[in-house]
C-alpha cells in the first residue's frame, strides 16, 4: 500500500464517515484513485486533497482550495 | 551501527593517544569524579558536532607544557564504526602550536576513511565527511543516543519541540501534520465564501454584520483571555516546578544537615582514635620499661639477702640475750637474794614492823641495827623508790639501729613495682593489639568519613551550591504567594472564558441560522463537508500521535518493569498536553491508576531511561535510517541509584544485547591506604567490556600534570 492510499484509508476510518455520512464499508475505496472517483463528496474531497498534497512538488494551499471548492460546489451532498 | 573504538589524542586529560576498544553489548567506563569520564563523552560529542570555537580549551595541558616553546602537536578524536559490513573511521583534528602566551590552534578538519564491503577505500574530507557522518549516525538518532548526567535524560522537559522532533524522527504520524494545515485553510475559505454570500443578501445583512462584529469582538476577548490563561498556567507550572525543586533542595538541605552531623561525628572519632594510638610506642615500652625486665631477679636476691641478714641478726640477738640472762642469774645467785615483790607487805606494815622492831613476816624480832631491821629498811627504800618516777634504763642492745626494717620497707615498695614489671610482656602484647585495633577502627572511620564526604559532595552537586539553598529558602514564601494568586486569578479567567465561549457559541448558532436561510445551499454544503474534512484530518493526526505515544509507552513500561524488578510496580503514562498551538509530552508515573506524586530521583531516572530505551528500540525499527540499531552513550546516568540498583540496571542493559556505553563512578572505592580500588560487587556486573579510568599521579594544583590512563578490566 502506498503512503497515499494508507493516508486515505486512515482518514476514511474516521467515525464521521460512517456515522454522519452513512457510507458503508463496501463503498469505502481502497486507494486514492478510486477515492477520486467516489460518489461521496467527502471521500472525493479527501482523496483529491491527498492526491494534490502528495504530489511532488506538492500544490499550495490556495491551489488545493480552488480545486476542492470547485469540485464540492459542483457535487451535491 | 557499532562503535568499535574511540581514540582521544591530546584531548583534555587524555595525553598522547588513548584508545577505548569497544565491543557490541554493554561497555562500562568506571572512574571516580574527575578521572576523565565526562571528557570522553565531550570528546565524542565534539567529534559528532562540536564547533570550531575555543579549541584551545580542548588541548591537553600536559602535552602543551611538554611542547613549550613553539612545539607543534595534533589534537584529535577519532571513532571507528561498523555499519552494514562497511567500516568508517571519522577523525576530527586540529594542530596546536605551543606559544609563550598559550596554545595557538588551527581550524579543525573532519576526515572519513570509508571501506566498503569489497574492501575498497575512499578518503573524504569536511562537508562530504560530515554528510557521511550524518548518514552513518543521523543527527535525529544522536539526539536520543547521547546523554550527559541524569538531568539530560528527561528529553521532554525541553518543551514543545520534543514531541514534534520525536514524531519527525521516528513516526509515520509526521505525514498527517501538513493535512491539518490544508484542512484549516479549506474550511476557513469555505466559511468566508458563505459569509460573503450572506453579506450580499440585503435581507439579514445588518443583523449578520452585528453578529459577526460581536463574534469577532467576543472571539478576540476569548483569545486574549485564553492567551492570559496559557501564560499564567505556564507561570504556575514554573512556580510549581520551582517549588518542587525547592522541596528537593529542602530534602537536600535536611540530608546535608544529617550528613554534616555524621561527618562531624566521624571526624571527632577519628581525632580520638588518632590521639589514642601511641606514637612513642617504642620508647615507652622498650626504652622506659624493657630495662626493668630482669628487676625481679635482683629483687629476689635482695630479699634473700635481707632474710639472711635478719636471720643472722636474730641468731646474734638470741645468743646475746642468753649470755645476758646467764650473767644476771649468776649475779643474783651469788648475792643469794630472793627479792620480795616490791610493795609486799605494804608500806604501813613495813613502817609498823620497823617501829616495833619486829618482822611480822618471819615472826621474829628485828632490833635496830640488825640484819633483819636493815633488810626491812632496804625494802621500804625500794618501795619508796618504786613509787618515784623512774628513769628508764636503756636496755642494753646488741644492735643500736634496725636497718633491716628499712630494707624490708624498700623491698615491699619494690615488690609492688615487680608486680608491674612482671606484666610488661603482657602490656606490650596488649599495647600492640590495642594499637592494631585502634588503627583498624581509624581506617573504618576514615572509610565512613570518605563515604559521607562523597555523599555530601553529591548532594551539593545536585543542589548547586550550599549557599543556594539559603536563597531558595527565602524565595519559597514568595513562590507560594504567587502560586495561590495565580490559581485564584486562573479560576476567574476560566469563568470568563466559559462565559465568552457560551456567548460565541450562541452567536455562531444565530449566524448559522442566517447562513442556512440566506446563503446559497451549495456553499453551506461545501462548508459543512470541509468542516468535517478538517475534523477528520485533525482527529486522525491526534490518533496517529496517540498510537505512537502508546507504542513508546508500551515499550517503556516493559523496560521499566524490568529495571524496577524489586521496586515500584506502577506504570509510565505518556500523554500529550495541548496549550494553544503548542503540544508537549507529559511523562507521568501511575500507581494503581492514580498519579504518583513526587517520585524520588532514582525512580525519575529509571522512568526516563525506560522511555529512552523504548525510543531507541523504535528508532531501530525505522527503516529509513537503515542501520537497524544505534549505540547509546550515557555519562553518569545513575548517580541517584546507589550500587545495588546500578548493578541491577547494568545487568538489565547487558541483557538487551545492544551497544550501550555507560560511564559511572559507582564501583570505584578506596582501600584502607586511600588507594583507588574496584569494589568486589563489580564482579557481579555482566558486561561485554569494562574500562577503568585513572589519572596518573599528579599535582592537583598543576593541570599540566594530568594524564588519564585507560585500563581494561
- Which DSSP string do the residues of B645-695 spell out, in sequence order? HHHHHHHHHHHTTS-EEEEE-TTEEE-TTS-EEE-GGGGG---SEEEEEEE
Confidence band, pLDDT 50/70/90 cuts, at residue B278? low
CA of B524: which chain A residue's CA is closest? A73
CA of B520 to nearest chain A CA: how many angstroms apart?
Answer: 10
- The answer to whether the Cβ–Cβ distance between A14 and B536 falls below 8 Å is yes
Average pLDDT over residues B620-639: 76
CA of A54: which chain B residue's CA is closest? B175
Q: Does A73 touch chain B (CB under 8 A)?
A: yes
Between residues B235 and B205, the one the model is more confident about: B235
Distance from C-alpha of B91 to C-alpha of B78, rounded to nearest angstrom: 4
Contacts A43 to B, Cβ<8 Å:
none
* Ranges B176-190, B328-342, B609-623: which has the least confidence: B328-342
Sequence-distant (6+) residues with CB within 8 A of B233 are: B490, B579
Numbered residues of chain B with Cβ closer than 8 Å to any chain A Cβ? 172, 175-176, 178-179, 181-183, 185-186, 189-190, 193, 522-523, 525-526, 528-530, 532-533, 535-537, 539-540, 543-544
Q: Report the pLDDT value the prediction gives residue A1, as an integer from 0 to 100.
A: 78
Taking only the tens place, the pLDDT of each residue in B65-116 is 888 777 899 999 999 999 888 999 999 999 998 887 778 889 999 999 999 8
Taking only the tens place, the pLDDT of each residue in B572-584 is 988 887 766 677 7
* Ranges B132-146, B160-174, B280-294: which has the least confidence: B280-294
Q: Report the pLDDT value the prediction gives residue B201, as an integer from 0 to 100.
A: 73
Q: Report the pLDDT value the prediction gives residue A77, as an integer from 0 to 100.
A: 46
Nearest to B181 among A17, A61, A68 (CB): A61
- The answer to whether the Cβ–Cβ distance between A45 and B539 falls below 8 Å is no
Contacts A18 to B, Cβ<8 Å:
none
Contacts B172 to A, Cβ<8 Å:
6
CA of A58: which chain B residue's CA is closest? B178
Confidence band, pLDDT 50/70/90 cuts, at residue B627? low
Nearest to B526 among A13, A46, A73 (CB): A73
- The answer to whether the Cβ–Cβ distance between A69 and B189 falls below 8 Å is yes
Distance from C-alpha of B192 to C-alpha of B161, rounded to nearest angstrom: 32
On the question of pLDDT at B261 being above 90, the answer is: no
CA of A63 to nearest chain B CA: how many angstroms apart?
Answer: 10
CA of A42: which chain B residue's CA is closest? B529
On the question of pLDDT at B625 being above 80, the answer is: no
Q: How many contacts does A have with B, using Cβ atoms within 8 A?
A: 75
pTM for this predicted structure:
0.63
Sequence-distant (6+) residues with CB within 8 A of B627 are: B1, B83, B84, B136, B620
Q: Does A33 touch chain B (CB under 8 A)?
A: no
Q: Please give the tally of structural domains in chain A.
A: 1
Confidence band, pLDDT 50/70/90 cuts, at residue B284? low
Mutate to test the interface with B, among A3, A4, A6, A14 (most CBs of B within 10 A): A14
Q: Does A11 touch chain B (CB under 8 A)?
A: yes
Contacts A73 to B, Cβ<8 Å:
522-523, 526
Average pLDDT over residues B309-323: 90
On the question of pLDDT at B567 being above 50, the answer is: yes
* Ranges B111-125, B336-350, B577-591, B650-664: which has the least confidence: B336-350
Q: Report the pLDDT value the prediction gives residue B468, as an integer from 0 to 100.
A: 62
Which of B58-62, B245-249, B414-418, B424-428 holds the top average pLDDT? B58-62
Q: Does A65 touch chain B (CB under 8 A)?
A: yes
CA of A34 to nearest chain B CA: how many angstroms apart?
Answer: 18
Q: Crossing angle, helix B177-200 and helix A61-74, to 10 degrees? A: 60
Q: Report the pLDDT value the prediction gives residue B341, as an integer from 0 to 100.
A: 62
On the question of pLDDT at B27 being above 60, the answer is: yes
Which of A7-16, B46-55, B556-565, B593-602 holds the top average pLDDT? A7-16
Contacts B193 to A, Cβ<8 Å:
69
Confidence band, pLDDT 50/70/90 cuts, at residue B519? confident
Average pLDDT over residues B361-373: 85
Based on C-alpha coordinates, what's the Rg of chain B? Answer: 53
Percent of chain B with pLDDT over 70: 87
Residue pair B468/B248 in contact by the 8 Å Cβ criterion: no
Mutate to test the interface with B, among A1, A10, A28, A32 (most CBs of B within 10 A): A10
Residue pair B648/B563 in contact by the 8 Å Cβ criterion: yes
Q: Report the pLDDT value the prediction gives residue B425, as an integer from 0 to 100.
A: 75
Residues linked to residue B689 through DSSP beta bridges, in sequence order: B27
Q: Report the pLDDT value the prediction gives residue B596, as an integer from 0 to 100.
A: 81
Nearest to A10 among B526, B533, B540 (CB): B540
Domain that holds residue A66: 3-74
CA of B574 to nearest chain A CA: how many angstroms apart?
Answer: 23
- The answer to whether the Cβ–Cβ distance between B523 and A49 falls below 8 Å is no
Contacts A58 to B, Cβ<8 Å:
178
Distance from C-alpha of B560 to C-alpha of B553, rounded to nearest angstrom: 10
Residue pair B108/B52 in contact by the 8 Å Cβ criterion: yes
- CB-based burial of residue B294 (10 Å sphere; 0-12 exposed, 13-18 middle, 19+ buried)? exposed
Between residues A38 and B454, the one the model is more confident about: A38
Contacts A45 to B, Cβ<8 Å:
529-530, 533
Q: Report the pLDDT value the prediction gives residue A76, as an integer from 0 to 100.
A: 53
CA of B532 to nearest chain A CA: how many angstroms apart?
Answer: 8
* Count of C-beta atoms within a 10 Å radius of residue B630: 22
On the question of pLDDT at B623 being above 60, the answer is: no
CA of B132 to nearest chain A CA: how many angstroms apart?
Answer: 26
Which of A9-23, B167-181, B305-319, B504-518 holds the top average pLDDT? A9-23
Q: Which of B617, B607, B626, B622 shows the shortest CA–CA distance to B657?
A: B617
CA atoms within 13 A on the CB side of B525: 17
- The answer to whether the Cβ–Cβ distance between A42 and B540 falls below 8 Å is no
Between residues B497 and B348, the one the model is more confident about: B497
Q: Which of A25, A32, A43, A42 shows the shortest CA–CA distance to A5?
A: A32
- The answer to whether the Cβ–Cβ distance between B186 and A7 falls below 8 Å is no
On the question of pLDDT at B557 being above 60, the answer is: yes
Sequence-distant (6+) residues with CB within 8 A of B304 are: none
Average pLDDT over residues B426-452: 82
Contacts A46 to B, Cβ<8 Å:
533, 536
Q: Report the pLDDT value the prediction gives residue B158, as an integer from 0 to 100.
A: 61
User: What average pLDDT does chain A have?
Assistant: 90
- The answer to whether the Cβ–Cβ distance between B523 and A68 falls below 8 Å is no
Domains in chain B, CATH or no CATH each? 2-137+630-712 (3.40.50.300), 173-273+461-544 (1.10.287)
Taking only the tens place, the pLDDT of each residue in A35-70 is 999 999 999 999 999 999 998 887 888 889 989 988
Amino acid at each position: 500500500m502506498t503512503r497515499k492510499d494508507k493516508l486515505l484509508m486512515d482518514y476514511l476510518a474516521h467515525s464521521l464517515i460512517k456515522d454522519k455520512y452513512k457510507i458503508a464499508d463496501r463503498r469505502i475505496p481502497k486507494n486514492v484513485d478510486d477515492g477520486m472517483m467516489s460518489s461521496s463528496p467527502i471521500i472525493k474531497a479527501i482523496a483529491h486533497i491527498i492526491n494534490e498534497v502528495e504530489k511532488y512538488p506538492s500544490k499550495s494551499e490556495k491551489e488545493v482550495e480552488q480545486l476542492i471548492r470547485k469540485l464540492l460546489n459542483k457535487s451535491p451532498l | 551501527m557499532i562503535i568499535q573504538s574511540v581514540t582521544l589524542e591530546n584531548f583534555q586529560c587524555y595525553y598522547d593517544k588513548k584508545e577505548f576498544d569497544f565491543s557490541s553489548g554493554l561497555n562500562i567506563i568506571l572512574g571516580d569524579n574527575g578521572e576523565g569520564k565526562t571528557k570522553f563523552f565531550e570528546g565524542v560529542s565534539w567529534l559528532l558536532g562540536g564547533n570550531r570555537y575555543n579549541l584551545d580549551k580542548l588541548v591537553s595541558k600536559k602535552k602543551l607544557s611538554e611542547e613549550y616553546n613553539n612545539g607543534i602537536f595534533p589534537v584529535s578524536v577519532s571513532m571507528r564504526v561498523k555499519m552494514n559490513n562497511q567500516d568508517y573511521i571519522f577523525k576530527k583534528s586540529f594542530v596546536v602550536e605551543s606559544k609563550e602566551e598559550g596554545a595557538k590552534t588551527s581550524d579543525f578538519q573532519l576526515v572519513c576513511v570509508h571501506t566498503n564491503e569489497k574492501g575498497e577505500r575512499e578518503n573524504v574530507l569536511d562537508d562530504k565527511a560530515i554528510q557521511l557522518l550524518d548518514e552513518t549516525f543521523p543527527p535525529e538518532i544522536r539526539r536520543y543516543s547521547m546523554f550527559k548526567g541524569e538531568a539530560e535524560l528527561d528529553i521532554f522537559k525541553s518543551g514543545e519541540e520534543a514531541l514534534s522532533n520525536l514524531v519527525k524522527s521516528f513516526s509515520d504520524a509526521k505525514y498527517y501534520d501538513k493535512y491539518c494545515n490544508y484542512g484549516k485553510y479549506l474550511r476557513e475559505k469555505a466559511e468566508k465564501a458563505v459569509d460573503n454570500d450572506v453579506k450580499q443578501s440585503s435581507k439579514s445583512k445588518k443583523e449578520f454584520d452585528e453578529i459577526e462584529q460581536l463574534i469577532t469582538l467576543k472571539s478576540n476577548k476569548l483569545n486574549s483571555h485564553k492567551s492570559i490563561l496559557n501564560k499564567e498556567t505556564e507561570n504556575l507550572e514554573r512556580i510549581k516546578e520551582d517549588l518542587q525543586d525547592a522541596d528537593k533542595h529542602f530534602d537536600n538541605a535536611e540530608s546535608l544537615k544529617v550528613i554534616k552531623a555524621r561527618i562531624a561525628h566521624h571526624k571527632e572519632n577519628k581525632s580520638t582514635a588518632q590521639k589514642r594510638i601511641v606514637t612513642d610506642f617504642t620508647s615507652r615500652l622498650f626504652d622506659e620499661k624493657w630495662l626493668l625486665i630482669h628487676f625481679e631477679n635482683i629483687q629476689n636476691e635482695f630479699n634473700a639477702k635481707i632474710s639472711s641478714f635478719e636471720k643472722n641478726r636474730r641468731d646474734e640477738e638470741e645468743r646475746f640475750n642468753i649470755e645476758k640472762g646467764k650473767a644476771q642469774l649468776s649475779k643474783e645467785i651469788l648475792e643469794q637474794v630472793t627479792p620480795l615483790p616490791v610493795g609486799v607487805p605494804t608500806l604501813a606494815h613495813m613502817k609498823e614492823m620497823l617501829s616495833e622492831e619486829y618482822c611480822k613476816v618471819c615472826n621474829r624480832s628485828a632490833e635496830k641495827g640488825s640484819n633483819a631491821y636493815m633488810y626491812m629498811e632496804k625494802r621500804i627504800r625500794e618501795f619508796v623508790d618504786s613509787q618515784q618516777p623512774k628513769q628508764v634504763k636503756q636496755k642494753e642492745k646488741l644492735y643500736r639501729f634496725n636497718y633491716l626494717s628499712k630494707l624490708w620497707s624498700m623491698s615491699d615498695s619494690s615488690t609492688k613495682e615487680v608486680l608491674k614489671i612482671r606484666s610488661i610482656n603482657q602490656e606490650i602484647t596488649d599495647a600492640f593489639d590495642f594499637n592494631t585495633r585502634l588503627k583498624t577502627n581509624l581506617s573504618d572511620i576514615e572509610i565512613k568519613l570518605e563515604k559521607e564526604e562523597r555523599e555530601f559532595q553529591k548532594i551539593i552537586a545536585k543542589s548547586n551550591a550550599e549557599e543556594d539553598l539559603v536563597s531558595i529558602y527565602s524565595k519559597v514564601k514568595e513562590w507560594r504567594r504567587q502560586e495561590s494568586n495565580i490559581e485564584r486569578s486562573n479560576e476567574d479567567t476560566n469563568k470568563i472564558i466559559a462565559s465568552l465561549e457560551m456567548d460565541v457559541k450562541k452567536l455562531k448558532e444565530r449566524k448559522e441560522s442566517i447562513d442556512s436561510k440566506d446563503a446559497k445551499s451549495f456553499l453551506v454544503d461545501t462548508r459543512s463537508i470541509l468542516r468535517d474534512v478538517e475534523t477528520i484530518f485533525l482527529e486522525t493526526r491526534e490518533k496517529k500521535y496517540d498510537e505512537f505515544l502508546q507504542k513508546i509507552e508500551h515499550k517503556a513500561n516493559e523496560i521499566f518493569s524490568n529495571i524496577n524488578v524489586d521496586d515500584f510496580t506502577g506504570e509510565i503514562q505518556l500523554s500529550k498536553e495541548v496549550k494553544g498551538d503548542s503540544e508537549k509530552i507529559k511523562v507521568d508515573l501511575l500507581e494503581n491508576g492514580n498519579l504518583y506524586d513526587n517520585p524520588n530521583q532514582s525512580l525519575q531516572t529509571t522512568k526516563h531511561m525506560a522511555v529512552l530505551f523504548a525510543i531507541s528500540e523504535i528508532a531501530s525499527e525505522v527503516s529509513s535510517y537503515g542501520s537497524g540499531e544505534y549505540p547509546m552513550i550515557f555519562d553518569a546516568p545513575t548517580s541517584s541509584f546507589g550500587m545495588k540498583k546500578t548493578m541491577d540496571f547494568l545487568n538489565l542493559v547487558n541483557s538487551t544485547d545492544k551497544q550501550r556505553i555507560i560511564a559511572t563512578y559507582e564501583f570505584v572505592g578506596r582501600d584502607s591506604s586511600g588507594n583507588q580500588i574496584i569494589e568486589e560487587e563489580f564482579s557481579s556486573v555482566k558486561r561485554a567490556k569494562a574500562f577503568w579510568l585513572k589519572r596518573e599521579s599528579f599535582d592537583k594544583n598543576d593541570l599540566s600534570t594530568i594524564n588519564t590512563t585507560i585500563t581494561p578490566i
